[in-house]
Structure 1
Amino acid sequence: MKTEVEYKIEFGKQVQKYLVKSGLNVKDFATLINSNVDNVNDIISGKVGLNISRMVKIASLFGIEYYNFANPNFPIPTKSELTINLKEVLSRRKIIGDKSNDTKRLLSKELDRLINDGFLCIPTTSKILHKKMDAELENRNPSEITTLLSQPPRSEYIKTLDQRYITQSIYIHKDYFDEYCSFSKEKLAEIILAEEIKLGLHKKYKSLKL
């Protein structure tokens, strides 16, 4: 029975064989498995071990089951077959990347729409703004809105009040900042809670800890 060290070395040799056969260099391979060149070199030399999920990720790049990939007796596909699968992987990642960029642009566009439509003329939070956005952005995190509001050019006309709503920052357009900056924490909470209830963010509530 082989030792763990022997398995590491054997798997590393397999990685090297597939890289050579496919023409994929170490740098590009490292990018595809979300790693770095040093780590890949350690894998190839058998210095580091890999869990099953990592082995599956590597093998799937070449369209091979991980147990066949690790088997030195399993025939390696032709370069054209390996290249086709790599192109499919890259194509899928490009589509995912494009979709991510599209929703990011939509997030910015929707935030600017809310600002222009006057939704920040009263105190609000990123959670409320998120709820008022296009349904396509439902799975985006309100923290992304917080980031957009804290950066130019939006940070130049959207201000953050000193008070907080539970753990959330409270935002207001600069033209209305003076009107609300002196409001108590409790008064601001009433305004925001009323908006949350209207949007269905508080279906059941008895009391609110400020």
Structure 2
Amino acid sequence: MSKNIVDEYIDILQYYLEYYGLYHIDIKNLLNTSTDIVQDIKKGKNGPTLKKLGEIAQLFGLNYYEFGNPEFKVPEKENLPTLTQEKILWRAEVGPPQSKKYNKLDLNNAVIDALEAFKDMEKFLPSEVYDSLPQELKEKLGSTIRITGLFSDELSENVEKTGEKLDKGEVGRKQEYYKVISLEKGLKRKK
């Protein structure tokens, strides 16, 4: 019995990752996505659309039909897009990704630690706090939206809104400014 096309595509992608010394997280970062696209495809969570297949193939300087062809010659490193080359060099230097498990309290405390740098500021944006976090924690949180969510819930006793909003002239919800009111650690007490 032959493999289905998704399994075959994942096998090809896994071969490319191993060939270049990359990991799923590297693909996630190169695609600038908050989810592990490889795991999503494997689990059938988000089926492989042509757009996704094309984006992954472009990481290796290929069209989707070239990448999906097991007979197609793997490109030399020097022929890959610059960002992919840089990621390969970086990964070779730092080694395999180290996964640190964060529980909810650890996440909250890590954000409170980051707030230390903002304690004397009149105002700051959640995106500035997010940008100041270590990369592995940013990957765990996924986006600035999680920081804003923490500020509204578990860390509401640590920060408060200033009432000012960032107006970048864009459509959509404007970011709100916050200020630090406490650096005390611990989960918010339920009332």
Q: Which has the higher helix share?
A: 1
Q: Which has the higher contact order (CA 8 A, sep 6+)?
A: 2
TM-score class, shorter-chain normalisation, is 0.3 to 0.5
TM-score (norm 2): 0.42
